[in-house]
Amino acid sequence: MSQDSIRSGRVQKAPENFLSRTGIKEVFAEGKKGRRDFIRSAFAAAAAGVAAPVALAQGNPVPSEGGDTNILNLPEHATGLGQGVATEGYGKPSKFEANLQRRQSPGLTQTTQSSVSFAPLQSLFGIVTPSGLHFERHHQGWWDIDPSKHRFMVNGMVKKNMVFTVDEIMRLPSVSRFHFIECGANTAVEWGNVAVPTVQYTHGMLSCSEFTGVPLITLLELAGADLKNGKFVLAEGGEGSSMTRTIPMSLITSGEVIVAYGQNGEMLRPENGYPLRLVVPGVQGVSWIKYLRRVEVGDKPYGSKDEAIHYMDLQPGGLHRQYSNLQEVKSVVTTPSGGQVLLDKGFYNITGLAWSGKGKIKRVDVSTDGGRNWRQARLETPVLSKALSRFNLDWVWDGKAAILQSRAQDETGHVQPTYQQLRAVRGTRSIYHNNAIQSWLVQDNGEVKNVQVS
């Protein structure tokens, strides 16, 4: 792995990749009291049960002899006048973050309208996906729909068909909730074998946002829906894909399903269904209908094209399992992960994401030796139901090959399976709903690779 490929951004940013490998060497050469030695000796001290080194404990800002003199330089920003208030247009990330973007997978045909872009999970923190990095899955391209012209209809087993404007929906009592959305085809290529290099491509059809909107049940009640005999609704998208999905009424009467207009504090992004989308917590992404234009109340599943051909699971015996709605418990280490490079041995925070369509994450265990030994990871708060949860684990890399894995358990007691366990039940020819434990091989040169261990 050359420095050029790191700089050109073909390698995914790892914890220490702001400095190049040469940069690291320079910092080392600056002397024993360099920044990185603080990290190393602090951990060694903690492991030995003694107090942290004096310099660290006192937060000593003065570099000792031979230390990092960069702190003494006065760069332009310390002496000049900064830029004016950023009132021009929509705020943008730092230009140094230009490599942070959604990407198409090298493992899939590159298409435009009927396509998918993956979220860069390796570079995200916490549990919220910035809206401009939310993964996209379009069956026939996206649209920027004029909200003043958009209409939403409730029909079927209702007293009165009702048509709402977006304004009318926004006048109704609203809720805001954090939920993950995962495409049922996330991690699909891994069914076959190791195919793609980074976590962006293995797990990036996954995002988590705070969604704001009106519970669908409110709109059904306004239309006088027959909630006794109406056991299902059909939700229909407004663009050319005519995406339609059956949603069980039980999810709606619980108040969980939302007709959302908000995402992370602002209106939905066009790519994600502006101005209205269905939020179906815990359920695979395909049911989260974008550009939502209609729900029809009915008494049986509709068996639409999007549920009779796609998004079902081919079982070992040759039968298909339809309506595998809930996304089962799953997790993945996002750093260190495939395509990243650890530039030196020493302390690392292993971090990742865990989620379950059945509720909250209860615990996550992490292995650094391919699943022989496990340590319980720290879950960051808040741990929310049907949302992403962030986990962390302290790790000192000894510079030898290591296999990193995470294994999540949800509050219903379900535990994420190994590939062996998953394939024993589901066979090898499936496409959707792969929630197996992911492995990353850290090689002794620091390069991290996607591997499968059984």
Ligand X SMILES: Nc1nc2c(c(=O)[nH]1)N[C@H]1C(S)=C(S)[C@@H](COP(=O)(O)O)O[C@H]1N2
Query: Which chain residues interact with ligand X by CB under 6 A?
Result: 134-139, 181, 183, 237, 239, 241, 243, 271-273, 285-286, 288-291
| Residue 15, φ and ψ in degrees, nearest 5 | -55, -35
Q: Which is nearer to ligand X, 196 or 448 (CB)?
A: 196
What 3-state class would DSSP assign to 91? coil
Nearest to residue 295, comparing CAs of 250, 222, 228, 245? Answer: 245
Strand partners, 415: 409
Q: Look at residue 272 and give the partner it binds from ligand X, Mo ion, none, a contact being a CB closer than 5 to 8 Å depending on partner kind.
A: ligand X
Q: Look at residue 261 and give the partner it binds from ligand X, Mo ion, none, a contact being a CB closer than 5 to 8 Å depending on partner kind.
A: none
- How is residue 429 written in tokens? 């020819």
Q: Which is nearer to ligand X, 242 or 421 (CB)?
A: 242
Q: Which is nearer to ligand X, 77 or 149 (CB)?
A: 149
Q: Which is nearer to Mo ion, 237 or 285 (CB)?
A: 285
When asked if residue 353 is in the footprint of Mo ion (CB under 5 A), the reply is: no
When asked if residue 183 is in the footprint of Mo ion (CB under 5 A), the reply is: yes
| Residue 119, φ and ψ in degrees, nearest 5 | -80, 140
Task: Give least dist CB 39 to ligand X, A.
Answer: 37
Number of residues this chain uses to bind Mo ion (CB under 5 A)? 4
Nearest to residue 251, comparing CAs of 276, 279, 226? Answer: 279
When asked if residue 286 is in the footprint of Mo ion (CB under 5 A), the reply is: yes
CA distance 414 to 55: 46
Q: Which is nearer to ligand X, 37 or 271 (CB)?
A: 271
> Which strands sit side by side in the sheet containing 375-376, from one edge to the other?
375-376, 361-367, 402-410, 439-442, 448-451
When asked if residue 384 is in the footprint of Mo ion (CB under 5 A), the reply is: no
- How is residue 145 written in tokens? 């729909």
Site for Mo ion in 124-143 (CB under 5 A): 137
The full DSSP string for 178-194 is EEEEE-TTTTGGGGTS-
CA distance 159 to 307: 28
Task: Give least dist CB 262 to ligand X, A.
Answer: 14
Task: Give least dist CB 244 to ligand X, A.
Answer: 9
Q: Which is nearer to ligand X, 137 or 390 (CB)?
A: 137
When asked if residue 156 is in the footprint of Mo ion (CB under 5 A), the reply is: no
Q: Look at residue 395 and give the partner it binds from Mo ion, ligand X, none, a contact being a CB closer than 5 to 8 Å depending on partner kind.
A: none
Q: Look at residue 346 and give the partner it binds from Mo ion, ligand X, none, a contact being a CB closer than 5 to 8 Å depending on partner kind.
A: none
Q: Look at residue 288 and give the partner it binds from Mo ion, ligand X, none, a contact being a CB closer than 5 to 8 Å depending on partner kind.
A: ligand X
- Which element (helix H / strand E) includes 110? none
CA distance 189 to 201: 9
Task: Give least dist CB 136 to Mo ion, A.
Answer: 10
Task: Give least dist CB 211 to Mo ion, A.
Answer: 17
Task: Give least dist CB 256 to ligand X, A.
Answer: 17
Q: What burial letters (b/e) apply to 9-31, b meaning 16+ CB within 10 Å?
A: eebbbbebbebebeebeebeebe
Nearest to residue 217, comparing CAs of 262, 252, 176? Answer: 252
When asked if residue 197 is in the footprint of Mo ion (CB under 5 A), the reply is: no
Task: Give least dist CB 110 to ligand X, A.
Answer: 17
CA distance 172 to 290: 20
Chain residues in the site for Mo ion (CB under 5 A): 137, 183, 285-286
